Amino acid sequence: MAKIVVIGGTGLIGTKVVAKLTEHGHEAIAASPNTGVNSLTGEGLAEVLAGADTVVDVSNSPSFAPADVLDFFTTSTRNLLEAEAAAGVTHHVALTIVGINRPQNIPYFAAKTAQEKMIRESAIDFSLVHATQFFEFVGSIADISTAGDVVTLPGALIQPIAAEDVATAVARTAAGDPVGDIEIAGPETFGMDEFARRALAFRGDPRTVVRDDTAPYYGARIEERTLIPVEGAQIFPTTLEEWLPLNPPRG
Ligand SMILES: NC(=O)c1ccc[n+]([C@@H]2O[C@H](COP(=O)([O-])OP(=O)(O)OC[C@H]3O[C@@H](n4cnc5c(N)ncnc54)[C@H](OP(=O)(O)O)[C@@H]3O)[C@@H](O)[C@H]2O)c1
């Protein structure tokens, strides 16, 4: 039984990772500001990491303002890696995003790229799980692209995945030996506009979704294949049609 500390263990993915690791007999500890552990300030880190074998980082920045998100992922990752080295942790697992190394101009992706670089350059063996967009994200994607009753999104391809499947991949990775980089994705590829259109239609949302390939995604123009995995990604089974009935809009 390994001791596995899950930074961000109270979040969407983290809660599920802790549950899955616990079900499989590991000592999984949810660590976040709500449990007295703050990776940004370092508070509680040394204490929670004492005796830990593995750290899983599925935390997220409370603010997505470009400077805040860059500060969150770099400061937090630096604090974690230092505390892990001091505690003798042998495996650092982080959840990151497919395609952020490709040309685009999204500040959140730049912050995650900086996080990845620090992890690769550290002396601790690592696994970086690169996931595509979560199904759970569909409401936010539509909302930030809405003007009046119209949602305008590019037809750039995505291959979204259920949070439950992401958590399965992260938990399996955390329970195993370090693997370096892996990509995970859902079973279907469609345009970002189609993703939103299907979800809004299912939910009876009156907004119309319009495709405009010049429309921004998180403030930036993305190319058709920026966000989909390269060959060799692990494909998880849950489809959007299976997921939608079980997941009403998040309030
Ligand atoms: N959204 C996507 O489509 C997508 C795709 C691929 C990868 N990802 C990545 O997935 C990861 C997890 O996302 P999520 O949606 O599960 O996040 P989330 O639900 O927003 O949860 C964020 C977690 O981070 C914790 N946290 C915030 N500030 C912290 C701090 N200073 N120290 C320690 N923990 C802190 C929160 O703790 P409290 O509850 O105590 O506030 C919470 O547990 C992110 O790194 C994201 O980049 C997302």
Phi (first) and psi of residue 93, to 5 degrees: -115, 130
| pLDDT beyond 70 at 251 | no
105 band by pLDDT with thresholds 50, 70 and 90: confident
**pLDDT tens digit sequence for 115-124:** 999 999 999 9
- Domain ranges in the chain are 3-246
**Three-state DSSP class for 5?**
strand
Centre of ligand 1 from the C-alpha of residue 206, in Å: 30
Centre of ligand 1 from the C-alpha of residue 58, in Å: 5
Centre of ligand 1 from the C-alpha of residue 168, in Å: 16
Centre of ligand 1 from the C-alpha of residue 251, in Å: 17
**pLDDT tens digit sequence for 150-202:** 999 999 999 999 999 999 999 999 999 999 999 999 999 999 999 999 999 99
Strands 150-153 vs 208-211: parallel, antiparallel or unpaired: parallel
What is the percentage of the chain residues whose pLDDT exceeds 70? Answer: 99
Q: For ligand 1, which residues put their CB under 6 angstroms from it?
A: 7-8, 10-14, 32-34, 38-40, 58-60, 62, 95-97, 112, 131, 133-134, 137
Atom of ligand 1 nearest to the CA of 41: 31
Out of 34, 39, 41, 60, mutate this one to test ligand 1's pocket (max ligand atoms within 8 Å of CB): namely 60
- Of the listed ranges 35-49, 99-113, 161-175, the one predicted with least confidence: 99-113
| pLDDT beyond 80 at 250 | no
CATH superfamily placement of domain 3-246: NAD(P)-binding Rossmann-like Domain (3.40.50.720)
**Three-state DSSP class for 11?**
coil
**pLDDT tens digit sequence for 122-156:** 999 999 999 999 999 999 999 999 999 999 999 99
Centre of ligand 1 from the C-alpha of residue 170, in Å: 13
List, in order, residues 6 or more apart from 154 with CB less than 8 Å away: 191, 192, 193, 211, 212, 213, 214, 215, 216, 217, 221, 222
User: Going by CA atoms, what residue is nearest to atom 24 of ligand 1?
Assistant: 59
Contact 124, 89 (CB under 8 A): yes
233 band by pLDDT with thresholds 50, 70 and 90: very high
230 band by pLDDT with thresholds 50, 70 and 90: confident
Query: What average pLDDT score do residues 4-17 get?
Result: 98
Strands 91-97 vs 126-131: parallel, antiparallel or unpaired: parallel
Single-letter residue type at 62: P
Query: What average pLDDT score do residues 69-83 get?
Result: 98
| pLDDT beyond 80 at 74 | yes
103 band by pLDDT with thresholds 50, 70 and 90: confident
- Give the per-residue pLDDT at 1: 80
- Give the per-residue pLDDT at 219: 81
218 band by pLDDT with thresholds 50, 70 and 90: confident
Query: What average pLDDT score do residues 221-228 get?
Result: 91
